[in-house]
Chain A
Amino acid sequence: MRTAGVLIAIALALALQTTLARFVVGGTTAIDLVLVTVVYIALTSGPVSGMLAGSLAGLIQDQLSTGVLGIGGLAKSIVGFVVGAIGQQFIITTALPRFVTFVGATVAYQALFMGLYVVLGLRSFPSPWKAIGTQALGNAIIGMIAFSIIEALPGMIERRRIGRRSRH
C-alpha cells in the first residue's frame, strides 16, 4: 500500500513538473517537485524508502531529460537516504527544521549533481549559486506547503464529519 502511494506520488510529481514547468516562474522553473517528493517520502518513511524513491524518481527524470542516466538517480538516492537517516535521528516536525531540511537537501542534491557532471567533464556550471539558492528556497516553500496540507487534511475531514453529524 505504501509502495503504491510512493509510486503514485512520484508519478504525480513528474507529471506536474513537466506540465507546470511551462507556467511557473518565467519558464525557468525554480523548483524541483520530484526532489520535494523524495525529501517528503524520506522524512515520513525513513532512509530506505527515501533512497529507493530517490533512485527511481531520479532515474526516470534522467531518462526524460537529456542528461546521463544515473547521475540524477545517484544524487537523489543519496539525498533520500541521508534525509531519511536525519529524520530518524532528529525531530523534524516543526516549520523551521523542515525548512532547513528542504534547503539543505536541495543544496546537497545540486552539489552532488553538478559535482558529478563537472568531475566527469560533461558539463560546466559557471556561477550556479543564484540558481541553487532560488531552487532551494522554492523547494523549501513548496515542501512546507505540502507538509501543511497533508497534515491538515485528516483533521479537516474529521471536523467536517463531526459537523455533519451534529447538524443531523
Chain B
Amino acid sequence: MTTLSPSIAGRQSQKAMALLDIRQRTGWLFMAVVVGHILLITTQISTRRGVPVFEAVTFGVFAEVQRAASTVIGGVRDVWQNYFALQQTRRENEALRTEVAQLRVGLQQERALAEQSRMLQQLLELKRETPLRTTAAYVIAGGASPDFRTATIDKGTSDGIRPDMAVIAPAGVVGRIILPTSRAAKIQLLIDRDAAAGAITERGRAQGIVVGTGTSLRLDHVPGTADIQVGDRVVTSGIEGIYPKGFEIGQIESIERRAGEYSSVMVRPAVEFSSLEAVLVVLTESSVAAEASDEASDDEDR
C-alpha cells in the first residue's frame, strides 16, 4: 500500500472536480442540449394533438406578464412624452407655458378620446350590423417570435371565448382564437404562414383558399377558368366552418398566370395589422350554449 503525498492528492481532487464541473465539458453539454431539443421536437411531431396543458399554463402565465409589461411600457411612454413636452415648453415664455401645456394636453386628450370613440363606434356599428353574437376585446401584446404572426387579447374563457372562434375588426377578418386562457387569448393572425381561410371573390364568385405569407395573403386553389381581376374584393366563403361567410379579407393585388392556370394570386389584407387595437370575437353557437348551460347550472346550484 502506498500513500499519496498531500500535493498529489490535492491535484487529483482538483482534476476530479474539474471533470465533475459541467462547464469544463462544453462539447458534451452542447451535444446533450442538441439531443434534448431533437427528442423534444420528435415527441411533439408524433403525438401533438390539441393544446398541451403545459403550453396553456405557460401562455396563461406569460399573458399576465405581457399585460403587466404593456401597462409599464404605456406608463413609461406617458412619462417620457410628458418629460419631452416639459423640455420644449421650458424654452418658451414663462407666462405662456402653463396655458400652452394645458391646451396641448387637453387637445391630446380630446384627440385620444375622439380616436377612441371613433374606433369604438366602428366596432359598435360592426356589432350592430353583424347578426352574430360577438364580444369586443383589446389587443394587449404581439407575437413572441417574429416568425409567427400572433397577438394576445385581453379576454379569455371567462368571457365565453373558445378555440377556433373567428376574430374580426371593422375593416375585415383578423384571425382565429388558438389558445384561450381564463383572462386572455392568443389569436393566430390571418397573415401567419400557418393560417388559412376559405375565400370567394365578390365579383366573379371565384372560390379559393386564402393563406398567410407572413406579411401578406395569397389566394390558392383558384381554378384556371375562374374570372378574377386585380382589385376584386375577396371575402370569406365560410367553407372551413370558422369564419362567418361574407366578411372582407382583402383585395386582389397581383395575378400571375402560367400555362392557363393561376400560379400566384396575391391579396392585400383589408385589416391593417400594424394598428390593430380593438377586435370583435365571434361567439359561436356552441360557446353560447356552453355559457348558457354554465349559467343554468350555477342557478341550480344556488
Chain B interface, number of residues (Cβ within 8 angstroms) = 49
Contact across chains for B40 and A131 when beta carbons are under 8 A apart: no
Q: How far is it, in angstroms, between the C-alpha of A34 and the C-alpha of B193 when the chains are bound?
A: 21
Query: Is residue A146 contacting chain B, with contact meaning CB distance below 8 A?
Result: no
1/0 per residue B253-293: CB within 8 Å of A? 00000000000000000001111100000000000000000
Q: Which of B1-9, B30-38, B121-129, B164-172 contacts A (4 or more CB under 8 A)?
A: B30-38
Contact across chains for A74 and B147 when beta carbons are under 8 A apart: no
Contact across chains for A30 and B37 when beta carbons are under 8 A apart: no
1/0 per residue B44-66: CB within 8 Å of A? 11001000001100110010011
1/0 per residue A18-56: CB within 8 Å of B? 111110011111111010000000000001100110010
Query: Is residue A7 contacting chain B, with contact meaning CB distance below 8 A?
Result: no
Query: Is residue A14 contacting chain B, with contact meaning CB distance below 8 A?
Result: yes
How many A-B pairs have beta carbons closer than 8 Å: the answer is 147
Q: How far is it, in angstroms, between the C-alpha of A77 and the C-alpha of B32 when the chains are bound?
A: 11
Instruction: Tell me whether A69 and B178 are in contact in the complex, defined as CB-CB below 8 angstroms, given that A19-B70, A78-B34, A123-B194 are known contacts.
Output: no
Q: How far is it, in angstroms, between the C-alpha of A61 and the C-alpha of B192 when the chains are bound?
A: 16
Q: Which of A59-92 contact B (CB under 8 A)?
A: 60-74, 77-78, 81
Instruction: Tell me whether A60 and B144 are in contact in the complex, defined as CB-CB below 8 angstroms, given that A18-B66, A70-B44, A81-B30 are known contacts.
Output: yes
Contact across chains for A15 and B34 when beta carbons are under 8 A apart: no
Query: Is residue A101 contacting chain B, with contact meaning CB distance below 8 A?
Result: no
Instruction: Tell me whether A21 and B143 are in contact in the complex, defined as CB-CB below 8 angstroms, given that A27-B274, A65-B150 are known contacts.
Output: yes
When distances are taken between beta carbons in the complex, the residues of chain A under 8 Å from B26 are 47-48
Query: Is residue B214 contacting chain A, with contact meaning CB distance below 8 A?
Result: yes
- Most chain A C-beta atoms within 10 Å of own C-beta, residue among B30, B70, B192: B30
Q: Which of B35-93 contact A (CB under 8 A)?
A: 37-38, 40-41, 44-45, 48, 54-55, 58-59, 62, 65-66, 69-70, 73
Q: Which of B234-264 contact A (CB under 8 A)?
A: none
When distances are taken between beta carbons in the complex, the residues of chain A under 8 Å from B273 are 27-28
Closest to B179 in A: A66
Distance in Å from the Cβ of A47 to the closest Cβ of chain B? Answer: 6
Instruction: Tell me whether A20 and B148 are in contact in the complex, defined as CB-CB below 8 angstroms, given that A68-B41, A71-B41 are known contacts.
Output: no
Query: Is residue B217 contacting chain A, with contact meaning CB distance below 8 A?
Result: no
Q: Which of B143-164 contact A (CB under 8 A)?
A: 143-148, 150-152
Contact across chains for A66 and B141 when beta carbons are under 8 A apart: no
Q: How far is it, in angstroms, between the C-alpha of A71 and the C-alpha of B42 when the chains are bound?
A: 10
Q: How far is it, in angstroms, between the C-alpha of A31 and the C-alpha of B145 when the chains are bound?
A: 9
Closest to A114 in B: B147
Q: How far is it, in angstroms, between the C-alpha of A81 and the C-alpha of B147 when the chains are bound?
A: 21
Distance in Å from the Cβ of B32 to the closest Cβ of chain A? Answer: 10
Contact across chains for B58 and A66 when beta carbons are under 8 A apart: no
Closest to A84 in B: B26
Instruction: Tell me whether A123 and B59 are in contact in the complex, defined as CB-CB below 8 angstroms, given that A27-B273, A28-B215, A48-B23 are known contacts.
Output: no
Q: 4 smallest A-B Cβ distances: which pairs? A: A21-B142, A27-B274, A64-B144, A74-B37
- Extra contacts, 10 of them, besides A66-B178, A74-B38 (Cβ < 8 A), are A18-B69, A18-B142, A21-B141, A26-B274, A48-B23, A55-B33, A64-B59, A70-B37, A77-B33, A124-B193
Residues of A within 8 A of B (CB): 11, 14-22, 25-32, 34, 47-48, 51-52, 55, 60-74, 77-78, 81, 113, 116, 120, 122-126, 131, 135
Residues of B within 8 A of A (CB): 23, 26, 29-30, 33-34, 37-38, 40-41, 44-45, 48, 54-55, 58-59, 62, 65-66, 69-70, 73, 139, 141-148, 150-152, 178, 186, 188, 192-194, 213-215, 272-276
